[in-house]
């Protein structure tokens, strides 16, 4: 039993996460391009963030004391867009504009186009430094010369595991450790896949926990699909005063759709675009099957119209 | 004739010698005194970039980043996003050289007001050699849409430029040099980002901004320059005057946004242009001037700068001469372009 979230709330968030996955599949099909596996894998954590963890106001995205969520791996932004829409930042209907000309929902997120995305991102390895910059700036004397603004909000940085291969990530990790940026909590989506294959084949990251500990971080590992565990880790991070905290969230890429799970073919493709996956339905049936699985929780419930 | 309104020093042959980095160092302290949002980040080059004066005065607003130029740009992006006015200082070969993509995505596309200070720019860095002589930084910075690019001609102008960009609310690049160079402007010399100044005019009674006039004859030329080589341009103009060739000299300290009006008017007035910069001729001020003139008033142009080569070790003076940026080289370029009219 968590001290930080009730059973009822967890149930509610699990249902929301499932809805989010369905919105995601529909928007990616409409867009015709984009990443699928990473966003599906992070649906539970993003749901927990927008509906439980973040201190934010969708009606006032510039609110100075809001928690900051810096998304470093900008390519999973579709799931963030979905949760932002569900939380009330913009109409659900607008999700259909993803990646289309004139949209606020750019293929990779841009700060000036959509209030609430906090920063422009996409090129990997650049989020942690920016998050550290915000945390450091907030700790300095505030604009009006009053006391430190550093205690007023927390900074979250979401990263992929693939971008742990980028040198800049470690420049920033070293800096955050040295400066004891305790208002900073980073989350690595440890799904083990990247565009060209499995991370441990492309460029092994393990021992990842030991690496961050060596850089003077407090490191926690959670099941990224267990909302209770994730919330507990986020709360533990708030109690750590001398170090930034890294939460390594073990996730299943493509979570919720059996033919997408653990399959790097789905890293950079939307449903309908993968032709060479022997486990998947033919392209024209992929979205339908993905939505069927999500609606029926993997076939556990029969939908009414079946 | 020197433009009286430019308020240059009275005796051009006896300038005080101060590096432009000192101007930045003083300017950023001044900016910091004016506004506590100003913070300075440096990547292990605090004294040589002159950021140490700020660090000594405002230690709580100075951030040591270590040898990590990518993170230098990223931290500053985050700090600016939060509401600070960050200056990031390093050598220009490293910032904006090494961290160019971080600047593009996280400062320019993100459109946050980080001030990038590229020190030890140009070949005059001298003995350090080619690896440390930034000759492409102006090109790198001026292709990023929101970026303001300023190349001050001396330490006094560098100080003014530093304070000016601190409060322009835009991503900005300031280029400064290591070597002592002539201080030939004064506190009273007009300076405004985006406005070129006529330092030497053919008509001694000209207003500070050029009036469009009748072309002044076959033996005239406009020299458009930025940075410390502008001093050589003024000396060349004086000598050429004695030989019967009259030169306008324009200080185009802001490479972006370029003062197109002043440059087009100068081209119309003289019918020939020489650009002068301590940078590759590909992509720098000369290219920017050619882009404007080719669209508006095609004019014969010669380019003083480094001609598609890397630098090498030596002292500043011998390198400037060897790479064709000394007074004699400028005179030759003017004669050549005048002959092409």
Q: Is B37 in Cβ contact with A133 (below 8 Å)?
A: no
Q: Read off the pLDDT of each residue in A30-43 and give the average, rounded to a whole number.
A: 92
Position A34 scores a pLDDT of 86
Task: For residues B242 and B334, state if they share a domain.
Answer: yes
Task: For residues B176 and B31, state if they share a domain.
Answer: yes
Position B299 scores a pLDDT of 97
Task: Indicate the residue among B150, B166, B183 that finishes a domain.
Answer: B183
Position A299 scores a pLDDT of 62
Q: What is the mean pLDDT of each run of 10 residues along chain B (341 residues)?
A: 90 96 98 97 97 97 98 98 97 98 98 98 95 97 98 98 98 97 98 97 58 65 98 97 95 98 96 98 98 98 98 97 98 97 89
Task: For residues B178 and B219, state if they share a domain.
Answer: no
Task: Indicate the residue among B142, B159, B183 that finishes a domain.
Answer: B183
Task: For residues B145 and B277, state if they share a domain.
Answer: no
Contacts of A137 in chain B (CB under 8 A): 39, 78-79, 82-84
Yes or no: say if A12 and A228 are a contact pair by the CB < 8 Å rule.
no
Mutate to test the interface with A, among B58, B69, B74 (most CBs of A within 10 A): B74
In A156-195, the residues whose Cβ lies within 8 Å of chain B are 167-168, 171-172, 174-175
pLDDT band at A35 (very low <50, low <70, confident <90, very high): confident
Q: How many domains does chain B have?
A: 2
Comparing CB atoms, the residue among A119, A123, A143 nearest residue B81 is A119
Residue-range definition of the domain harbouring residue B298: 4-14+187-339
- Say yes or no to pLDDT of A45 above 70: yes
B65: closest chain A residue by CA: A175
Position A145 scores a pLDDT of 41
B37: closest chain A residue by CA: A143
Position B242 scores a pLDDT of 94
Query: Any chain A CB within 8 A of the CB of B216?
Result: no
The CATH number given to whatever domain includes residue B91 is 3.40.50.970
Which pTM value belongs to this model? Answer: 0.94
Query: Any chain A CB within 8 A of the CB of B230?
Result: no
Task: For residues B138 and B43, state if they share a domain.
Answer: yes
Task: For residues B195 and B138, state if they share a domain.
Answer: no
What number is the ipTM of this complex? Answer: 0.92
Task: For residues B169 and B144, state if they share a domain.
Answer: yes
Helix intervals (H) in chain A: 7-31, 37-41, 43-48, 77-87, 127-139, 167-178, 199-202, 208-214, 227-238, 283-295
Position A147 scores a pLDDT of 44
| Mean pLDDT score across all residues of chain A | 92
- Say yes or no to pLDDT of A124 above 60: yes
Comparing CB atoms, the residue among B60, B76, B109 nearest residue A133 is B76
Contacts of A132 in chain B (CB under 8 A): 71, 74-75, 78
Domain ranges across chain A: 44-254
Task: For residues B232 and B333, state if they share a domain.
Answer: yes
Position A52 scores a pLDDT of 98
What CATH number was assigned to the domain covering residues A44-254? 3.40.50.970
Task: For residues B233 and B110, state if they share a domain.
Answer: no
In B79-108, the residues whose Cβ lies within 8 Å of chain A are 79-84, 101-102, 105-106
Task: Indicate the residue among B183, B203, B231 that finishes a domain.
Answer: B183
Task: For residues B199 and B309, state if they share a domain.
Answer: yes
Position A300 scores a pLDDT of 61
Q: What is the pLDDT of residues A251-302, one digit of tens each?
A: 999 999 999 998 888 888 899 999 989 989 999 999 999 999 998 876 665 5
Task: For residues B101 and B237, state if they share a domain.
Answer: no
Task: For residues B158 and B106, state if they share a domain.
Answer: yes
């Amino acid at each position: 039993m968590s001290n930080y979230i009730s059973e009822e709330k967890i149930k509610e968030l699990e249902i929301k996460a499932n809805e989010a996955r369905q919105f995601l599949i529909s928007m990616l099909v409409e867009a015709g391009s984009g990443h699928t596996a990473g966003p599906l894998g992070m649906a539970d954590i993003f749901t927990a963030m927008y509906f439980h963890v973040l201190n934010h106001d969708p009606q006032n995205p510039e609110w100075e004391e809001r928690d900051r969520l810096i998304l470093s791996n900008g390519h999973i932004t579709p799931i963030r867009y979905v949760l932002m829409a569900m939380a009330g930042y913009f109409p659900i209907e607008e999700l259909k504009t993803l990646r289309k000309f004139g949209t606020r929902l750019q293929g990779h997120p841009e700060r000036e186009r959509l209030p609430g995305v906090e920063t422009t991102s996409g090129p990997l390895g650049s989020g942690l430094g920016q998050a550290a910059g915000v945390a450091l700036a907030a700790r300095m004397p505030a604009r009006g010369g009053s006391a430190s603004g550093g205690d007023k909000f927390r900074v979250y940085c979401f990263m992929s595991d693939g971008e742990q291969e980028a040198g800049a990530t470690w420049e920033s990790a070293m800096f955050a450790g040295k400066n004891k940026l305790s208002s900073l909590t980073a989350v690595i989506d440890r799904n083990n896949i990247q565009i060209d294959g499995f991370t441990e084949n492309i460029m092994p990251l393990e021992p990842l926990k030991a690496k961050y500990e060596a850089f003077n971080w407090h490191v926690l590992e959670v099941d990224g699909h267990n909302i209770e565990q994730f919330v507990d880790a986020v709360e533990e991070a708030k109690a750590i005063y001398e170090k930034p905290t890294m939460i390594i969230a073990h996730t299943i890429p493509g979570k919720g759709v059996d033919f997408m799970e653990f399959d790097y073919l789905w890293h950079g493709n939307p449903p309908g675009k993968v032709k060479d996956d022997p486990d998947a339905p033919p392209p024209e049936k992929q979205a339908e099957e993905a939505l069927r699985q999500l609606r029926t929780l993997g076939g556990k419930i029969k939908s009414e119209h079946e | 004739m020197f433009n009286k309104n430019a308020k240059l020093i009275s005796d051009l042959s006896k300038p005080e010698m101060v590096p432009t980095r000192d101007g930045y160092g003083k300017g950023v302290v001044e900016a910091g005194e004016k506004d506590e949002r100003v913070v300075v980040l440096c990547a292990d080059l605090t004294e040589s970039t002159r950021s140490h004066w700020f660090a000594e005065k405002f230690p709580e607003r100075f951030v040591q980043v270590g040898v990590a130029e990518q993170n230098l740009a990223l931290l500053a992006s985050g700090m600016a996003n939060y509401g600070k006015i960050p200056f990031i200082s390093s050598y220009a070969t490293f910032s904006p050289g090494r961290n160019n993509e971080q600047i593009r995505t996280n400062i320019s596309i993100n459109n946050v007001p980080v001030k990038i200070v590229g020190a030890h720019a140009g070949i005059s860095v001298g003995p350090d050699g080619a690896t440390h002589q930034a000759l492409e930084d102006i090109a790198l910075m001026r292709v990023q849409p929101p970026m303001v690019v300023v190349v001050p001609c001396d330490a006094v102008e560098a100080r003014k430029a530093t304070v000016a960009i601190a409060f322009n609310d835009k991503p900005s690049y300031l280029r400064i040099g290591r070597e002592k160079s002539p201080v030939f402007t004064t506190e009273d010399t007009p300076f405004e980002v985006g406005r070129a100044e006529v330092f030497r005019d053919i008509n001694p009674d000209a207003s500070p901004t050029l009036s469009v006039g009748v072309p002044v004859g076959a033996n005239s030329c406009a020299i458009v320059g930025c940075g410390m080589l502008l001093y050589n341009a003024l000396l060349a103009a004086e000598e050429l005057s004695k030989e019967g060739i009259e030169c306008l000299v324009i200080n185009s300290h802001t490479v972006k946004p370029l003062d197109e009006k002043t440059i087009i008017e100068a081209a119309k007035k003289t019918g020939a242009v020489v650009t002068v910069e301590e940078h590759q001729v590909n992509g720098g001020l000369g290219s920017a001037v050619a882009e404007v003139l080719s669209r508006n008033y095609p004019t014969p142009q010669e380019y003083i700068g480094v001609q598609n080569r890397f630098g090498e070790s030596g002292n500043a003076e011998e390198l400037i001469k060897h790479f064709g940026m000394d007074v004699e080289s400028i005179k030759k370029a003017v004669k050549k372009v005048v002959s092409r009219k």
